[in-house]
Amino acid sequence: MRHEIENRTILQKVSFLLFCALVFLSLTLNAQNDKKYIRQGNKEYGKNNFPESEILYRKAIDKNTKSPDALFNIGDALYKQNKFEEAGKQFIENINQNEDKDKKADGLYNLGNSLLNAKKLPESIEAYKGSLKVRPGSKEAKYNLAYAQDLLVKQKEQEKQQQQNKDSKKDDQKKDQKDQKDQKDKDQQKDQKNSQDQKQQQQKQEQGISKDDAQRLLNALANDEKNVQEKVKLAKASKEKVRTVKNW
């Protein structure tokens, strides 16, 4: 009985060791496949065949999901295809998984370049600063940091000028609107005055002739009547002087 227990224990130990060996062998084979695809990708990258190199690097990731080198190389291949935002995501994953300081500094530097080309200047500045924290002596990171900072200053100045132009345009529009309103008010006042003048003239016409005109008219009538009376008197006097001759 005791021998059977010991045999079972030995078999369990052997089985466990075989399992560990198989796992190790599998990991080793995957690591070898990972390196194989990375080497193939590097060859295509060297030929400037960046889309094909990206495919091979992704195959390396399929074999080893925690391959920082494959992630870094995918980022490089995407960068060369002007896919800057996608490249930046790969470099971020590389940075998070990489324990090697130099490789982490390279990842941050390339992340800064990707963000710079994606027009994300504040983010690129932070990436370059991060790279310099890990590797303070990097001349490339220092130069690109200064370049990105200079671009950001110019961008802010340009945005400020654009805002000033926009505000000035708004002021001009407000002035034009005020001038139009003032002219409209003047036209309305002029129309109202003309309307009032017309009403007053109409009222005068309805009221009739003025007192002076009425007096002149009465005087004219009186003179006419006097002339008529004088003519009548003269006519009567003539009749009295003229004798009618009777015909026999």
More confident residue, 226 or 73: 73
Q: Which of 30-44, 70-84, 123-137, 199-213 has the lowest mean pLDDT?
A: 199-213
In three-state secondary structure terms, 16 is helix
Q: Stretch 80-95: mean pLDDT, rounded?
A: 96
pLDDT of residue 28: 44
Taking domain 99-156, whether its CATH number is 1.10.3660.10 is answered by: no
Q: Model-level pTM?
A: 0.60
Where are the extended beta strands (E) located within the chain? none
Q: Stretch 71-91: mean pLDDT, rounded?
A: 97
Give 209's DSSP letter.
S
Q: In whole numbers, what is the pLDDT of the chain averaged over residues?
A: 82
pLDDT of residue 218: 77
Q: How far is CA 92 from CA 129, 195, 227, in A?
A: 15, 79, 124
Model confidence at 6, pLDDT cuts 50, 70, 90, reads low
Each domain of the chain, given as residue ranges in start order, spans 25-82, 99-156
Largest Cα span, the chain: 206
Residues 218-229: b if buried by 16+ CB within 10 A, e if exposed: eeeeeeeeeeee
Share of the chain above pLDDT 90, in %: 51
Encoded tokens for 234? 């003269």
Say whether 99-156 and 25-82 share the same fold.
yes
Domain 25-82 belongs to what topology? 1.25.40
CA distance 228 to 238: 16
Closest CA to 90 of 64, 54, 56, 50: 54
CB under 8 Å to 88, separation ≥6 — which residues?
Answer: 75, 111, 114, 115, 118
Distance from chain centroid for Cα 132: 34
CA atoms within 13 A on the CB side of 76: 21
Q: Stretch 213-231: mean pLDDT, rounded?
A: 72
